[in-house]
Structure 1
Amino acid sequence: MTVNHDWATRTASAKEWVVEDVAAGTFRVDRTTLVDSAVYEREMASVFARCWLYVGHESEIPRPGDFRARDVGNRPLIFWHGHDGVRRVLYNTCRHRGALVCRVPEGNARGMSCFYHAWTYASTGALNGVPGDEGYGEHFDREGMGLLSPPRVDSYRGFHFVCFDPDAVDLKTYLAGAAEYIDLVADQADDLEVVPGVHEYSMDANWKLFVENSLDGYHLLPLHKTYFTYLEQHEGNTLDRNDATEAVDLGNGHAVIRVHGPWARPVARWAPALGEHNRPGIEAKYQELVERYGPERAEMIGHTDRNLLVFPNLIINDIMGIVIRTITPTSAGHTKIYQWSLATAGEDPDLRARRLDSYIAFQGPAGLATPDDLEACEACQAGLRTAPDVAWSDISRGMHREHTGQPSLASDELQMRAFWRRWQSLLD
């Protein structure tokens, strides 16, 4: 549901939408920000056109010619491994009349031809074929008519990003403290790969609701009761609300929650769901981490569960397995979600199957948790029809800890506040 209050929001300052009162211990967000189409348009210009956005992992295009078509910030892109050995991100639009050049989600190609007028492009993006090019005369600039790239393209530890703002800070600076948590993912194995296949689903709710949900430790036990009952009955594992948890503001809008949960971690923490025959191998992997990084870092890599937000819309769930999730708004009241599983290349097929079963059971779009999350977000969006009368959402949980120097818990809302503060600063 989208409400358009153009009269109120086109000139409103974002300072009026996010109101923090430290003395009172309150942090409130104007619900207009979750329903108004004018706010959505401002977000696309001020957030998605200015921030670094995730495109894909290097393992998805390992061979020359491999490509993936991606929508990033509502711009169609091609993530393509050129035959010159360079991985590129190219705008998926023909330089002639604008048609999509790549119209399939993935594959391998030395070149691509636009179906409309058959302009053809090499895997480097160069224009190498124009039917009847004599019709353009001697001054036609073939070299200048190749597929273009976004102004900023870079990668960190195999994760490739783009930024549509040529004046943006470099990627490493942008990642700030989130880089450390990407390191904890990348250090799990020398040869991580995205498992073939992608989950794509959508919800009739604002994208920021799903960002919040992806970092929210407060909802786990009440909302996902079915999943935790299943864990207890079938695997003997329970999640205790008092387990060691933490929420951390990583700067630039990035945040993470950490928890020692009941889940198996195929890289380093064995549990019965992974099969007794896989136990020696998993425990040996953990010892390799200890030998390589020391016991403290090995504990962080292998035994600590994490949900990481790379602002604005990349979530890396490093729990029972590694899940990469992008959250893409298509309107004020509709959102697309794409997610992939990242795993150790060449791992035992049985362990891979058990890893994926665990991931799908919890985070798959038809699993025991994700449908709960989508229903919760859509229920919030339905309730937000009252925004003209019930104007504010409260995101104050744990502020007394945040502002007195105490560690924040994963069930607090520090991580959401980090997101909203950065959002506010970009829209002002």
Structure 2
Amino acid sequence: MTVTGEFGDIDNGHIDPKIYTDQAIYERELEQVFGRSWLFLAHDSQLPKRGSFVQTYMGEDPVLVVRQGDGSVKAFLNQCRHRGMRICRSDEGTNKTFTCSYHGWAYDLEGNLINVPMEDRAYRKEIDKSRWGAVKVRVEEYKGFYFGTWSEDVPEFTDYLGDMAFYFDAVVGRWDNGLELVPMTSKWVIDCNWKFASEQSASDMYHVPFSHASARMALTDKPEEWPMRWGDAPPGRQFSGNGHGSGSVWLPTLGIPDLVSGQDYVDWLVSNQAEVFRNIGEERALKVYAHNTIFPNFSWLGPNATMRVWHPRGPGQVEVWSWTYVPKDAPQNIKADIRRGVQRTFGPAGSFETDDGENWTEVQQVLKGWKARQSKLNAQMGLGHEERDVHGLPGLSNDVFSETAARGFYRRWADLMAGLSWAEIRDQDAARERQETILPKEVQEV
């Protein structure tokens, strides 16, 4: 079943560049993609006690995520129902209530309207406060991670993940006591479409040997240890499913020399690898860790311990929110090593981060041209060579140097943009799976 039409022939690897530049398309995806998908909101470690809150975004809608008195987490639109002002101006903190600074309407931790100034005089006691609470978000928790959606139609989060749960668990399930986010959110703006960043994180290992070669060599006096040179990169696979994507080259051992966080981190990792292998299995620990995206805009990089959300800010701009994640039980010196490694590589001024941002902004700049926007873009790498449930990895996969996950990302995006219900999308996915070109099961081991 081929997705063709206004966005290109995605199943055959043709993408129309206007999806990165057109304002009308952007407005539609705020409703159809960000309004109908599960979006990352917060992690347990960001909400330590009753009344703890963080302000985030679902698309361009500001949202408050709040720890309740019973320990649960709820979320609601950060908008007063009187004249639309934010009811909280802080990025994070601890509150008992949220009060709009415009006219003083106050809301409780669940977003219910609890106080209207001069209610007796201004409204003659005729306002029904139960009808004017903040708009609620549907929230689900997965292993300490909270995701939200505006949609009642979208499947439960575990069904939405599908086979991606195997790949997500490879990072969130490694350690007995889980992960925590370092309590500092880095935020910066890149002048490019959000899909460049999200799709690359799902699919693109192809850029690594070239785009990041100079940065990698700058971090070491042994450039020959760079394992991603053209032609001799280690074997690896790329997964695609439900719009999500994951891709990694395979490691011979967890104790490979680390040019990012230092030898102390490597030694600690080796000394604790039995815990990792017990929790997720040795094979998964060595095969699943690198590039990952949960559709549409939550990504993480395993080697560099960074998680981020790509918040859209118009067709030509994205606001990056980035966190360092660490094993909760790791010693403080190891957590500090990991944090410094992220700052050097994928922080706002990190050597690899600036490589990626330069690529994306340059593409966006080129697409200002009239003729450039008429040229279809090629996403055909590995087309027709997908395999299913091979090499101990569930779902549809391909060689790590392919664009299987990119095509899957844009297929899901196009399905939602077409206004298909999630039931219709499920039926289309089943039809696509029946029509897949699957290579013979006698797969040669890489």
1:319 aligns with 2:306: no
1:230 aligns with 2:218: yes
Q: Secondary structure in 2 aligned to 1:401?
A: coil
1:243 aligns with 2:234: yes
Q: How does 1:13-412 map to 2 (within 5 A)?
A: 15-20=5-10, 26-135=12-121, 136-150=123-137, 152-189=138-175, 190-214=177-201, 215-233=203-221, 237-241=225-229, 242-249=233-240, 251-260=241-250, 271=258, 281-290=268-277, 292-293=278-279, 297-301=281-285, 304-321=288-305, 323-388=306-371, 390-402=374-386, 408-412=398-402
CA offsets, 1:1-36, max 9 Å, x none? xxxxxxxxxxxx962422157xxxx51111121211
Q: Secondary structure in 1 aligned to 2:323?
A: strand
* Residues 35/84 of structure 1: CA separation in 2 closer, same or farther (3 Å cut): same
363-372 or 223-232, which moves further after superposition? Answer: 223-232
Q: How far apart, CA to CA, are the structure 2 residues paired with 1:81 and 1:116?
A: 25
Give the residue type in structure 2 aligned to 1:165. S
CA shift, 1:148, in A, is 2.8
Give the residue type in structure 2 aligned to 1:239. P
Give the residue type in structure 2 aligned to 1:345. K
Give the residue type in structure 2 aligned to 1:377. W
* Residues 303/175 of structure 1: CA separation in 2 closer, same or farther (3 Å cut): closer
CA offsets, 1:227-264, max 9 Å, x none? 22134416973123421221111x211111012369x9
Q: Secondary structure in 2 aligned to 1:18?
A: coil
Q: Unmatched 5+ residue regions in structure 2? A: 391-396, 419-446
153-162 or 232-241, which moves further after superposition? Answer: 232-241
Q: Residue 56 of structure 2 contacts residue 63 of structure 2 at CA under 8 Å; is this kept in 1?
A: yes
* Residues 299/355 of structure 1: CA separation in 2 closer, same or farther (3 Å cut): farther
Q: Residue 270 of structure 1 contacts residue 282 of structure 1 at CA under 8 Å; is this kept in 2?
A: no
Give the residue type in structure 2 aligned to 1:237. E
The answer for the alignment partner of 1:10 in structure 2 is none
Q: Residue 304 of structure 2 contacts residue 346 of structure 2 at CA under 8 Å; is this kept in 1?
A: no
| Fraction of identical pairs, as percent | 27
Q: Secondary structure in 2 aligned to 1:49?
A: coil
The answer for the alignment partner of 1:6 in structure 2 is none
Give the residue type in structure 2 aligned to 1:425. D
Q: Residue 53 of structure 2 contacts residue 94 of structure 2 at CA under 8 Å; is this kept in 1?
A: yes
* Residues 413/80 of structure 1: CA separation in 2 closer, same or farther (3 Å cut): same
Q: How far apart, CA to CA, are the structure 1 residues paired with 2:388 and 2:135?
A: 50
Q: Unmatched 5+ residue regions in structure 1? A: 1-12
* Residues 391/141 of structure 1: CA separation in 2 closer, same or farther (3 Å cut): same
Q: How far apart, CA to CA, are the structure 2 residues paired with 1:362 and 1:418?
A: 28
CA shift, 1:299, in A, is 4.0
CA shift, 1:200, in A, is 0.9
CA shift, 1:100, in A, is 0.2
* Residues 334/280 of structure 1: CA separation in 2 closer, same or farther (3 Å cut): closer
Q: How far apart, CA to CA, are the structure 1 residues paired with 2:356 and 2:257?
A: 27
Q: Residue 4 of structure 2 contacts residue 10 of structure 2 at CA under 8 Å; is this kept in 1?
A: no
Q: How far apart, CA to CA, are the structure 2 residues paired with 1:210 and 1:281?
A: 31
Q: Secondary structure in 2 aligned to 1:417?
A: helix
Give the residue type in structure 1 aligned to 2:345. F
Q: How far apart, CA to CA, are the structure 1 residues paired with 2:368 and 2:78?
A: 37
* Residues 260/361 of structure 1: CA separation in 2 closer, same or farther (3 Å cut): farther
CA shift, 1:81, in A, is 0.8
Q: Residue 188 of structure 1 contacts residue 302 of structure 1 at CA under 8 Å; is this kept in 2?
A: no
Tell me the C-alpha RMSD between the 2 structures: 2.7
Q: How many residues align?
A: 403
Q: Residue 170 of structure 2 contacts residue 288 of structure 2 at CA under 8 Å; is this kept in 1?
A: no
* Residues 281/367 of structure 1: CA separation in 2 closer, same or farther (3 Å cut): closer
* Residues 169/20 of structure 1: CA separation in 2 closer, same or farther (3 Å cut): closer
Q: Residue 167 of structure 2 contacts residue 288 of structure 2 at CA under 8 Å; is this kept in 1?
A: no
Structure 2 length-normalised TM: 0.83
Give the residue type in structure 1 aligned to 2:238. A
The answer for the alignment partner of 1:5 in structure 2 is none
Q: How far apart, CA to CA, are the structure 1 residues paired with 2:285 and 2:228?
A: 21
* Residues 359/232 of structure 1: CA separation in 2 closer, same or farther (3 Å cut): same
CA shift, 1:304, in A, is 4.2
Q: Residue 325 of structure 1 contacts residue 339 of structure 1 at CA under 8 Å; is this kept in 2?
A: yes
The answer for the alignment partner of 2:410 in structure 1 is 420
